[in-house]
Chains A and B, each alone.
Chain A
Amino acid sequence: MVRSHRFNRFNQLWPFYLLAAPGILYFLIFHYIPMSGLVLAFKDYSPFIGMIKSPWVGFEHFQQFFSTDNFYVLLRNTLMISLLSLVVYFPFTILLSIMLNEIRLKMFKRISQTIVYLPHFLSWVVIYGITISFFGPSGVINHYLEQWFDTSALFLVSNDWFRPLIIFQSIWKDAGWGTIIFLAALAGINPELYEAAKVDGANRFHNIWHITLPGIKSTIVILLLLRLGSSLDSNFMQIFLMTNSLNLDVSNVFDLFVYHTGLQQFNYSFAITVGMFKSVVSLILVLGANYLAKLMGEDGIL
Chain B
Amino acid sequence: MQIKKNLAQVVTASVLMTTVLAGCSGNGNSSAGETASPTNAANGQQTAAPSVEPTTIKAMTITFGDPPSADNNQAKADLEKRGNVKLDLTFVPSEAYGDKLAVAVSANDYDLLLIDSGKDNKYTNLVKMGAFHDLTDYIAGTKNISQIEDAVWNNTSVQGKIYGIPRPRGLYGGGEASVIIRKDWLDKYDLEVPKTIDELTNALQVFKDNDPAGGGNTVPLTVYGVDGVSGPGPFGSVFPMLFAFGVPHIWALDDSGQPVRDFQTTEYKNYLDWLKDTWSKGLIDKDAPVLKNQQQARNKFQAGVAGAFVTNVGDISETSLEKMKQVDPNAEIAVIDVLEGREGQKGVALIGGYYGIWAIPSSVPKEKVQKIIDFLDFTSAEENIAFSKAGVIGVHASDFKDGLPVQTEDQKKLFDLEKPSAFVLQNRVDPYIYANSKVPEILEVQKASLDVIAGYGIPNPFLSYSSATAAKNPDTYKKMSAAMTQYVLGETTWEAVQKEIDAWTAGDGAVIAKELLEEYNADQQ
Q: Is the CB of B286 within 8 A of A46?
A: no
Q: Is the CB of B474 within 8 A of A260?
A: yes
Known: A245-B289, A265-B121, A265-B122. A19 touches B14 (CB 8 A): yes
> B486 contacts which chain A residues (CB < 8 A)?
246
Residue on B nearest A44 in the bound complex, by CB: B129
Q: Is the CB of A245 within 8 A of B126?
A: no
> A132 contacts which chain B residues (CB < 8 A)?
287, 290
* In the assembled complex, A215 has its CB within 8 A of some CB on chain B: no
Assembly CA distance A263 to B105 (angstroms)? 11
Q: Is the CB of A266 within 8 A of B102?
A: yes
Q: Is the CB of B287 within 8 A of A246?
A: no
Q: Is the CB of A246 within 8 A of B10?
A: no
Q: Is the CB of A245 within 8 A of B227?
A: yes
Assembly CA distance A257 to B481 (angstroms)? 16
Q: B-side binding surface: helix, strand, loop or mixed?
A: helix
> B253 contacts which chain A residues (CB < 8 A)?
none
B507 shortest CB reach to chain A, Å: 8
Assembly CA distance A22 to B24 (angstroms)? 13
Q: Is the CB of B362 within 8 A of A138?
A: no
* In the assembled complex, B318 has its CB within 8 A of some CB on chain A: no
Q: Is the CB of B108 within 8 A of A47?
A: yes
> A136 contacts which chain B residues (CB < 8 A)?
287, 290
> B131 contacts which chain A residues (CB < 8 A)?
46-48
* In the assembled complex, B21 has its CB within 8 A of some CB on chain A: yes
Q: Is the CB of B481 within 8 A of A267?
A: no
Q: Is the CB of B290 within 8 A of A18?
A: no
* In the assembled complex, A252 has its CB within 8 A of some CB on chain B: yes
> Which residue of A68, A69, A70, A257 has the most chain B CB atoms within 10 A of its CB atom?
A69
Q: Is the CB of B485 within 8 A of A246?
A: yes
CB interface residues, A 46-66, toward B, < 8 Å: 46-49, 64
Contact with B along A127-146 (1 / 0, CB 8 A): 00000100011100000000
Assembly CA distance A288 to B6 (angstroms)? 40
Q: Is the CB of B229 within 8 A of A245?
A: no
B105 shortest CB reach to chain A, Å: 7
> B226 contacts which chain A residues (CB < 8 A)?
245
Q: Is the CB of A266 within 8 A of B106?
A: yes
CB interface residues, A 240-258, toward B, < 8 Å: 243-246, 248-249, 252, 257
* In the assembled complex, B225 has its CB within 8 A of some CB on chain A: yes
Report how many residues on chain A are interfacial, defined by Cβ distance under 8 Å. Answer: 37
Q: Is the CB of B290 within 8 A of A157?
A: yes
Assembly CA distance A132 to B287 (angstroms)? 9
CB interface residues, A 260-274, toward B, < 8 Å: 260-261, 263-268
CB interface residues, B 43-60, toward A, < 8 Å: none
Q: Is the CB of B229 within 8 A of A246?
A: no
Residue on A nearest B103 in the bound complex, by CB: A263
Assembly CA distance A249 to B363 (angstroms)? 41
* In the assembled complex, B23 has its CB within 8 A of some CB on chain A: no
Assembly CA distance A101 to B258 (angstroms)? 72
Candidates A16, A70, A246, A263; contact of B102 at CB < 8 Å: A263
* In the assembled complex, B67 has its CB within 8 A of some CB on chain A: no
Known: A49-B130, A265-B125. A249 touches B106 (CB 8 A): no
Q: Is the CB of B290 within 8 A of A248?
A: no
B311 shortest CB reach to chain A, Å: 22
Residue on A nearest B108 in the bound complex, by CB: A47
Assembly CA distance A70 to B508 (angstroms)? 13
B164 shortest CB reach to chain A, Å: 15
Q: Is the CB of A70 within 8 A of B481?
A: no
Known: A46-B129, A245-B481. A264 touches B289 (CB 8 A): no
* In the assembled complex, B234 has its CB within 8 A of some CB on chain A: yes
* In the assembled complex, B457 has its CB within 8 A of some CB on chain A: no
CB interface residues, B 488-502, toward A, < 8 Å: 489, 491
CB interface residues, B 1-43, toward A, < 8 Å: 7, 10-11, 13-14, 17, 21
> Which residue of B126, B225, B475 has the most chain A CB atoms within 10 A of its CB atom?
B475
* In the assembled complex, A34 has its CB within 8 A of some CB on chain B: no
Contact with A along B226-248 (1 / 0, CB 8 A): 11110000100000000000000
> B227 contacts which chain A residues (CB < 8 A)?
243-245
> A138 contacts which chain B residues (CB < 8 A)?
286-287
Known: A22-B17, A244-B225, A245-B481. A266 touches B122 (CB 8 A): yes
Assembly CA distance A22 to B25 (angstroms)? 14
Known: A47-B106, A47-B108, A245-B482. A267 touches B130 (CB 8 A): no
Q: Is the CB of B472 within 8 A of A244?
A: no
> B362 contacts which chain A residues (CB < 8 A)?
48
Contact with A along B287-309 (1 / 0, CB 8 A): 10110100000000000000000
Residue on A nearest B13 in the bound complex, by CB: A19
Known: A15-B11, A261-B474. A246 touches B482 (CB 8 A): yes
Residue on B nearest A142 in the bound complex, by CB: B286
> Which residue of B17, B129, B226, B292 has the most chain A CB atoms within 10 A of its CB atom?
B129
* In the assembled complex, B471 has its CB within 8 A of some CB on chain A: yes
Q: Is the CB of A264 within 8 A of B478?
A: no
> B83 contacts which chain A residues (CB < 8 A)?
none
Q: Is the CB of A245 within 8 A of B129?
A: no
Known: A15-B14, A245-B225, A248-B228. A137 touches B289 (CB 8 A): yes
Assembly CA distance A132 to B292 (angstroms)? 13
Contact with A along B118-144 (1 / 0, CB 8 A): 000110011001110000000000000
* In the assembled complex, A156 has its CB within 8 A of some CB on chain B: yes
A254 shortest CB reach to chain B, Å: 12
Candidates A156, A261, A268; contact of B290 at CB < 8 Å: A156
Contact with A along B453-488 (1 / 0, CB 8 A): 000000000000000000111110011011001100
Q: Is the CB of B489 within 8 A of A246?
A: yes
Residue on B nearest A19 in the bound complex, by CB: B14
Q: Is the CB of A70 within 8 A of B475?
A: yes
Residue on A nearest B9 in the bound complex, by CB: A15
* In the assembled complex, B175 has its CB within 8 A of some CB on chain A: no
> A243 contacts which chain B residues (CB < 8 A)?
227
CB interface residues, A 99-155, toward B, < 8 Å: 132, 136-138
> B229 contacts which chain A residues (CB < 8 A)?
260, 264
Q: Is the CB of B286 within 8 A of A266?
A: no
Instruction: List 13 contacting pairs A-B, 8 Å CB cutoff, sorted by A.
Output: A15-B7, A19-B13, A22-B21, A48-B130, A49-B129, A70-B478, A138-B286, A156-B290, A245-B226, A245-B485, A264-B99, A265-B471, A266-B106
Q: A132-B287, A268-B106 are in contact. List 14 more A-B contacts (CB 8 A).
A: A19-B14, A49-B130, A70-B478, A137-B286, A156-B290, A157-B290, A245-B478, A245-B481, A260-B229, A260-B475, A264-B98, A264-B102, A266-B105, A266-B122
B residues in contact (CB < 8 Å) with A: 7, 10-11, 13-14, 17, 21, 98-99, 102, 105-106, 108, 121-122, 125-126, 129-131, 225-229, 234, 286-287, 289-290, 292, 362-363, 471-475, 478-479, 481-482, 485-486, 489, 491
Counting from the closest, the 3 A-B pairs by CB-CB distance are A137-B286, A46-B129, A260-B474
